[in-house]
Chains A and B, each alone.
Chain A
Amino acid sequence: MGKQVARYALLVALAMVLSWLESLIVFPGLLPGMKVGLTNLVVIFALYRMSLRDAAAISLVRVLLVSMTFGSAYSFAYSLAGAVLSLAVMAGLKKLDKFSILGVSIAGGVCHNMGQLLVAMAVLGTARLGWYLPWLLVSGVAAGTATGAVGGLVVNRIKPGI
C-alpha cells in the first residue's frame, strides 16, 4: 500500500515536471494548449507497467494539479479533454493487440490533439477551426512517435518492482 502511494506520487510528480517543461516549449502558430505531449510518457508507462486504472488516476491528478498551478479554467478543459480521449483510445488499441507501443502512442498523441481541438471549437462556438485539423494530425503523429519510441525504452528497461 505504502509502496503503491509512493509510486503514484513519483509518477504524478514526474508528469508535473514534464508538463512544466513542456509549457516552456512554445512554437509560433500553435494554438494554446497544443503541446508536444511529454507527459504522455508517464501515462504510457503507467498503462503498460501498471493498469488502466492507475494510468487514469495519475493522468487525472496530473491534469488537476497542473491546471491549478500553471493554468486556468480553459487550460483545464483542454488538458482534460485531451487526456481522457487519448487514454481511452490508447487503452482500446492496446487491448486490440494489433499495434506496438509506438502505434498506441501515435494514436494517443493524435487523440490528445483532437480532444483539445473539440474543446477549442466549443469555446469559440464555431466549427471553423477544422482547418487546424491536418496540422494537429501531423503534430500528433510526430509527438506520438517520439513519446512512443522513448516510452518503449522506458517500459522495457526500468526494472520491475519500481
Chain B
Amino acid sequence: MKKKHRGDLLLAGSILLLAGVLLFLFRPGGQGAWVVVTADGAEIARYPLDEDRTVRLGDDTDYNILQIAGGAAAVVEADCGDHTCVRTGEISREGERIVCLPHRLIIQIEGGDGPVFDASAG
C-alpha cells in the first residue's frame, strides 16, 4: 500500500509540475495592441485595442457584442447558453482571450508586432 501511495504522489506531482511549466510558458504578456476575432478557426476581424468601439459579432440568431473601451476588450452581451464569454470579463494583455464555445468564437489579444492591417477598415 505504501508503495502505491508513492506512485500516487509521483503522478500528481509530475502533472502539477507540467502544469506549472506550461503556465510559465503561456503567461500573459504586456499590454496588447490588437483584438483578433476568430470564428470556426479562421480570423474574421482585427481591431486596434486603443480605439473604442462596439461590434456585433454573429448573425441574426447567434450574436456576441464585443466592446473595446479604454484599452480593454470584453464581451458585454451574448445570446449563447452559458455566457462564459461575458463572465470572462475584460482582457487587455497579450495572450489573453475570451472563448465562446457555443458560437465557436475566440477573441484574443495580440501584441504590437502583428501585421499592420486593419480588417475593419477594409
The answer to whether A2 has its CB under 8 Å from any CB of chain B is no
CB distance from B29 to the nearest CB of A (A): 12
B23 x A99 contact (CB < 8 A): no
Our pick among B8, B81, B88, B99 for the contact of A100 (Cβ within 8 Å) is: B8
Q: Could you show 5 A-B contacts with beta carbons less than 8 Å apart?
A: A33-B101, A102-B5, A128-B38, A134-B19, A134-B20
Which residues in window 97-155 of A have CB below 8 A to B? Answer: 97-100, 102-103, 106-107, 110, 120, 123-126, 128-131, 133-135, 137-138, 140-141, 145
B11 x A103 contact (CB < 8 A): yes
A100 x B4 contact (CB < 8 A): yes
Complex Cα–Cα for A101 and B122 (A):
58
The answer to whether A32 has its CB under 8 Å from any CB of chain B is yes
- In the complex, which residue of chain A has the Cβ closest to the Cβ of B105? A124
Residues of B within 8 A of A100 (CB): 1, 4-5, 7-8
- In the complex, which residue of chain A has the Cβ closest to the Cβ of B18? A137
B: number of interface residues (CB 8 Å): 33
A31 x B41 contact (CB < 8 A): no
Among A99, A107, A126, the most chain B Cβ lie within 10 Å of the Cβ of A99
User: Interface size class for chain A?
Assistant: 20 to 34
A-B contact count (CB 8 A): 93
Complex Cα–Cα for A97 and B38 (A):
45
Name A's B-contacting residues (CB within 8 A).
Answer: 28-33, 72, 74, 97-100, 102-103, 106-107, 110, 120, 123-126, 128-131, 133-135, 137-138, 140-141, 145
A110 x B4 contact (CB < 8 A): no
Which residues in window 1-41 of B have CB below 8 A to A? Answer: 1, 3-5, 7-8, 11-12, 15-16, 18-20, 22-23, 26, 38, 40-41
Given contacts A30-B84, A31-B101, A120-B101, contact A138 B7 (CB under 8 A): no
Among B12, B23, B40, B81, the most chain A Cβ lie within 10 Å of the Cβ of B12
The answer to whether B58 has its CB under 8 Å from any CB of chain A is no
CB distance from A102 to the nearest CB of B (A): 5
- In the complex, which residue of chain B has the Cβ closest to the Cβ of A110? B15
B22 x A137 contact (CB < 8 A): yes
A129 x B4 contact (CB < 8 A): no
Our pick among A32, A123, A124, A131 for the contact of B82 (Cβ within 8 Å) is: A32
Residues of B within 8 A of A110 (CB): 15
The answer to whether B71 has its CB under 8 Å from any CB of chain A is no
The answer to whether B102 has its CB under 8 Å from any CB of chain A is yes
